[in-house]
Structures are given as structure tokens and as C-alpha cells.
Structure 1
Amino acid sequence: MSDTADECGRPGEEPGTDQGPDQATEQGGKERRQRRRAALRGAERVLARPGYLGTVGQRLALLDEARESYDLDEPSDIYGGGIVETLEERVAGLLGKEAAAFFPTGTMAQQVALRCWAGRTGNPAVALHALAHPEVHERNAFSVVSGLRPLRVTSEPRMPTADEVRDFDEPFGTLMLELPLRDAGFVLPTWEELSEVVGAARERDAVVHFDGARLWESTTHFGRPLDEIADLADSVYVSLYKSLDGYGGAVLAGPRTLVEEAKAWRHRYGGAVFQQFPTALSALVGLDRELPRLPEYVAHARVVAAALREGFAAAGVPWTRVHPEVPHTNEFQVWLPYDHEAAAEAAVRQGEETRTLLFADAWNRGGPGLAVTEVSVRAAGLEWTADDVKAAVAEFVGRL
């Protein structure tokens, strides 16, 4: 969800939101955000119900299932032992890597990984997309904190191509690929395109790192298991909360020597937390409960996307775009020819008045007279038929 207080350094903000509005606009945006979250909590029907917006009691209830995922009579963790090691081994196995390290945030995990690779390659330059998470959401942490030099391979709303990587006019030590590329619409390349891009980086003697915050739900699009996808990269980061609905945290997986070095830097960066068992336990529950269901979410997201297009056409909206047209994951964008404030108000009012919240994320300005939002389909969305979606679209358009 786009208003997550996530590890991107923008708690409470939403991608694409202007940063210089007057106080009245800021206050109006804050009030609408609060209304939207209240509507989401009170809605009887939503396409996704993110755990992080639940009450403390509801979040603690996640651990009711924990005994099935871990022996609770085992000693707790201390500075990364016990259950944290179990989680690291589990994720390393899923990704087919030699070892893995748990981190409190993905921002820290990726800075450490890329810093380690820079030391090994002798080149602090990191080639990446202009819309990649570190470039957009981390307050220049690469250069300010880690001494890395980001090089933007492309700013087009798609994945970089093999030719762009091969012909880039500066040397780089690491190519970082965000899979899927969230700010471009949760887009993924084809398997052949991804293989070619990785090959182009290898031709330049660069290592490859996957920002796999949402890699978990990419298997359907690629038609490959997680370990085969991860095998293309030298190292991979995965989030433990974006798809798995855990309390937080991230895991970096790769060669054992890299992971051991990363753990040393984790300590230096302040990531050696005394005890992390609640977060680790929630992640293990997520691996058991959510990971097997992600392909089902992706498949139903495609049903929802098609119904949205048909619903807006039937409602007489002159132009609309679902991007990608066939979602690559269980998340995608919707673009409409309306002012984003009007779309946001209509979405909130629908939730408040009908207890059905079709669009639970923020509406942002996509250009003059254009509004864009993100749609996520999870367990709650599986209850929606195509006709349910079309009916909800008609109600939404009636409030514009």
C-alpha cells in the first residue's frame, strides 16, 4: 500500500505526492489520508487488507499461528541467534543461496550488500534505474551514508534493456535490478529479457544484485521457481513484510563470504538488534501462510484488472488505463482522466457510504487532469467476482 510508513524514509507520504503545497492543501491531504485509513479499517469489502493497519491486538494475533511455524519452547534469539538463524537458513534455501542475513530494514540490507560488492569489485558505482527505490525513496543514502555512486541506466517506465546496460558510457561495479519495478507499475521483464540484461552486466565484469522486495510474487510472471530466478543474481534482498505481512525486516542472501562480511557491516550500521524474535516469528508465519498463496493473488489480480477496464468503459469514462494491462504481479496501477483530488474524494466517500472500498490506496497526480493509484489484490480480494468489481466501479464513477 502506498501510504505505508515503510523503510523508504517517507513515513506518511505517498509516491508522486507534491512536496511543496500550501498548509491548507497539506492539512486537507492529511485529513483525507486519515479518512481513507478509517474507511479501510471499517470496510466490509476490500481488495486487500494490509495487516500493518490493524490494531495492536490484531497484529499480535498473527502469532497465534506461530506454533505451527516454529518450536516456541526453543530459547529466544540474542543478537541474531536462534530463531533468526532459522529464518536466515529458510530464506537462503528458498532462494537457492549459500547463506543469508537478517536485517531490520531493506534500506540497510541493500546499502550493506552494495557496499560489500563495491569493496570487492573496486568500483563504488552502482548502475540502476532512475525509479529504483534507493534513488526515489532513501534520501540519497547511497552516496551520503555508504559512499556509493548511483548511475541511472534509464528513466523510462520499464526495466533497463541489455543494450542499455552493455552500452552504458561509464564503468560500474554492480548492476542493481528492482524486481518488480514498483514505481513504474510493478513491472517485470520477460525471462529472456532478464537473462540478457544479466548477461550484459557480466560482459562488463559487473556483479548483479536483485532488489527483490516483492520478488516473492514474481514467479507466476516468469514461470520459474524462486531459486531459479535468484540464481541469475550474485545477491538478492527480499522483504519480510511487503508480501509476507510480517512485522518488518528483510533478508540479504548470497555467497557465504559476502553474507559474513555483510553481518559485520550490519553491526556497524546499527542493525545488530538484541532481540528480533517477534519479527522473525511473524516472517516464518508469512512464509508458511502467505507465500504459497501469492500465485493465487496474482491470478486473481488479472481478473480484477480486466473487470476494472470493462467497468470503466461501461460507466462511460472516456479513457482509462490499467498498467500493466495484464498485471505482472498482484499489484498494478490504474490511471484515470480526472483530477487526483476528485478521484481521492470519490474513493473515500465510497468506502464511508457503502463499506466497500474499491481503491484503498492514495490517488496521486499523474499529470495535468490525470490521476493514478495502485491496486493490490490479496486474500480479501479473492472474494470479489468480476461482476462485483464492475458494480463497485459504477458506484465509484457515480461519486466523481
Structure 2
Amino acid sequence: MAAMRACDRVLSGTRPVTVREELGELTAAAEPDLMPDWYGDGPVAGLEERVAGLLGAEAAVFFPSGTMAQQVAIRYGAEVTGRDTVALHPLGHQEVHERRAYADLTGLRSVHPTTARRNPTAAELVALGEPVGTVVFELPLRDAGFVLPTWPELSDACTVARRTGARVHFDGARIWESTPYLNRALPEIAGLADSTYVSFYKTLGGLSGAALAGTTALAAYARTWRHRYGGQIFQQWPAVLAAHSGLDRELPRIPQYVRHARVVAAALAELPGAVVYPEPPHTNQFRLWLPYPAARLNEAALALAEEEKVWFAAGWQDTGIPGQAMAEIVAHAPSLDWSARDVTETGLRLLDRVQR
């Protein structure tokens, strides 16, 4: 983090900030007479209204974490349908990053409509052969490479899910950057689902926090279970202010990030042995594979940062193929001034260090 912070140029991600800098941004975002929230009123209620408006929903409820919000959404689906089964992707956030909380805390069971590296199709939902309470679509499916269905594919799958009597839930932690590929506005996308979860720190750069949007009935249920899960926190105004700042600053720029990600991806694909997926990217995030061990790539990236003050990409992980590593690339504000030539030339300098 220290090396990245000291860099003059950043290709993937955003430069880390200090606590003092973060506090300065929060102070600038606060209205002079704004008072702290008290167990969910004031600033929290204001953010909830804003998110409901952005998504075209009747109501939205602020949660301290997306894991909590998604548990509540899936629990609600089970209770209103009387079905204790949820349709999930095995690479979905609930399975990979939430420690299967829906099962261990709520007692629900899951079925996997598909193991393909994409969201389920309408035909796969028809073929499930058993009733489910909720069908979850992760937009985009992060651990498959930030991939999205087409608009017709998503619309058809949601229609079929509803015909079977299931609710549709969107894991929309990154739904903000899904609009260019789907070529639809946020209210139209969220309108396909019965509930949508959004994150305020992924892409928007907030401190923490999430929201669950849907009907007023869902919101009332969500507030009850948020309290029971321990999410009725005394004051959350720092996260709320940061969320507003992210919506003000980043949301309008996301289409530009997505367009630039395609430029970056095409340039990276020119590197010897490189594989980019998906190509072109569906959002402003995608995956890059290079034919070297992760440790050597991480060492080379750090050396490049320390010696040239240029940040390429970090977090390289070894894959199942010996000698090949993968990193997630995020096109954000700092990368916008990188030309395709800049990207390729920097990548070649990185590989030169790897091969020394």
C-alpha cells in the first residue's frame, strides 16, 4: 500500500488514502448543519431514499454489510414463498465469500442451476425440477471474471423464475458498472428483480455499507431482521457520507471507466502469453493471466512501483496451471490517462523484471 500510494501513475485500482485524508473528504461532504444519525434516522434515512430513487424501488434499507443484506433477502424469499431452497451459482458471493451464511444461520439449502462460468439461463431454471424460494443473479458474476448475461438472457431468466413462483434477487454489489453492457438504466435493470442489493464501497469508493431495495413490505421485514442480526448500529454517518460522495463523484463516471477498460484489456492482450477475460470486458473489471508464478509477478510489480513510481497490478494468484498466475484489473479514475501504448509498454517492462 505504501508503494502504491507513492506512485505517480496507477493502472489498476485507486491510490490508497490516509485516515486524515478520508476524514477531510467526509468533512467536505457534510452539510454545515447535518446532525449524526440515531439508530437509522437522519443521514441514513436520506441515503435510503436516494438509493430507492436510483433503483426505482418503493424503499431501500441501509445495512452495515452486504452479507447481512443478502441473508435477509434470501430469508424473506423463503418465508413468503414457503420454500426453503435457494437457487445460487456455485461461484456466487453467498457460496464463496459469505461462508454459506444462508444455510448455517437460516437453515436453507441451495441448488445450482449451472456450473458454467455465467449466470443461469431460463432453460436451466426450467430444468431445475424442484421449487425454489429465491433465484439469485450476481451482476456481474465476479468470480467467473465479472461476466454479465445479455439483456434478453437476463429478462428471460427472470421471467421464468417468476413463473415458477420464485422471487428474483439481484446481488448487485457491482450493478452500477453493469448498465453499459446491459444497455439499460438502473431502474429498468432493478425492475426485473424483487430485491436488489447494492454496495457502497465497491467501485463507489465508500467506507463500507450496503442497501437492500425492493417493496415497502420487504423493507419493513429487512429493518426487523437487520436489528436481529446486529445491524441496528447507533451511528453510521461516516459510511453514509462516504456513500453519498461515491454516488456524486463515481456513479456518473462509470460508463467512462467501462469504455476505458476495453482499451486497457486490448493493450494487455498484446503482452506475450497474456490472456484477458472476458474480451472485451463486460464492466470496468476483468481478469488477466500471465505465464509466470504469482510470487515473481508480485515482486516485479512492487519493484516497478518502488523504482519507477508506476503501479501496474497487484494481488497475483497462482492458478491450477503451473507457472501461470491471474490478477483482477480494475479500470478506475487513475487509469484514464493511460493510452494503449502506455499500458503495453509498462506491461513489457514488468515482464522484463519478471524474467531477470
TM band (smaller chain): over 0.9
Quick check: 1:242 aligned with 2:202? yes
Partner SS state of residue 325, structure 1: coil
Bigger CA drift: 161-170 or 205-214? Answer: 161-170
- Give the alignment partner of residue 365 of structure 1, picking from 310, 315, 319: 319
Contact kept, 8 Å, 2:169 with 2:193, in 1: the verdict is yes
Q: How does 1:100-119 map to 2 (within 5 A)?
A: 100-119=60-79
- Cα distance between partner residues in 2 of 1:261 and 1:139: 23
Letter in 1 for 2:317: W
Which position in structure 1 is the counterpart of 2:211? Answer: 251
C-alpha deviation, 1:60, in angstroms: 1.2
Does the Cα contact within 8 Å between 2:14 and 2:334 map onto a contact in 1?
no
Amino acid at match of 1:259: A
SS state at 1:189 partner = coil
Give aligned-pair identity as a percent: 53
**Would you say the 8 A contact 1:48–1:376 is kept in 2?**
yes
Offset at 1:109?
A: 0.4
Instruction: Tell me which of 284, 290, 294 is aligned to 1:330.
Output: 284
Measured in 1, the distance between the counterparts of 2:150 and 2:195 equals 20
What secondary structure sits across from 2:336 in the alignment? helix
Alignment root-mean-square deviation, CA: 1.4
Equivalent in 3, 14, 26 of residue 63 of structure 1: 26
- Residue 352 of structure 1: SS of its match in structure 2? helix
Q: 1:156 and 1:106 mapped to 2: Cα distance?
A: 24
Aligned residues: 354
Counterpart amino acid of residue 49 in structure 2: E
Q: Secondary structure at the match of 1:81?
A: coil
Using the alignment, how far apart are the partners of 1:186 and 1:366 within structure 2?
A: 19
Q: Which TM-score applies when normalising by structure 1?
A: 0.86
User: Contact 2:13 / 2:329 at 8 angstroms: preserved in 1?
Assistant: no
Q: Which moved more, 1:162-171 or 1:264-273?
A: 162-171
1:120-135 equivalences in 2 (<5 Å): 120-135=80-95
State the Cα deviation string for residues 92-143 of structure 1 (Å, max 9, x = none). Answer: 0000000000000000000011111111010121101100011001122111
Query: Separation in 1 of the partners of 2:49 and 2:321?
Result: 45
- Which runs of 5 or more structure 1 residues have no equivalent in the other structure? 1-36
Q: Is 1:212 aligned to residue 172 of structure 2?
A: yes
Which residues in structure 2 correspond to 1:310-325 (within 5 Å)?
310=270, 312=271, 317=272, 319-325=273-279
Deviation at 1:62, TM superposition (A): 1.9
- Please tell me the residue identity of whatever aligns with 2:61: A
Give the aligned partner of residue 28 of structure 1.
none
Equivalent residue runs for 1:384-399 within 5 Å = 384-399=338-353
Structure 1 residue 145 displacement after superposition: 1.1
Instruction: Measure, in 1, the Cα distance between the counterparts of 2:333 and 2:318.
Output: 25
User: What amino acid is aligned across from residue 373 of structure 1 in structure 2?
Assistant: A
1:345 corresponds to: 299
Give yes or no for contact 1:213–1:237 (8 Å, CA) kept in 2.
yes
- Mapped partners of 1:390, 1:161: distance in 2: 36
By how many angstroms is 1:372 displaced?
A: 0.8
Q: Which secondary structure state, in structure 2, belongs to the residue aligned with residue 146 of structure 1? A: coil
CA contact (8 A) 1:364 1:373 kept: no
| CA positional deviation for 1:337 | 2.0
Amino acid aligned to 2:337: E
Distance (Å, rounded) in 1 between the aligned partners of 2:326 and 2:197: 28
1:293-352 Cα shifts (integer Å, max 9, x gaps): 111111111111111112x0xxxx2x3211011111110000122222222222222222
Task: Give the structure 2 partner of residue 20 of structure 1.
Answer: none
Structure 1 contact 130–153 (Cα < 8 Å) conserved: no
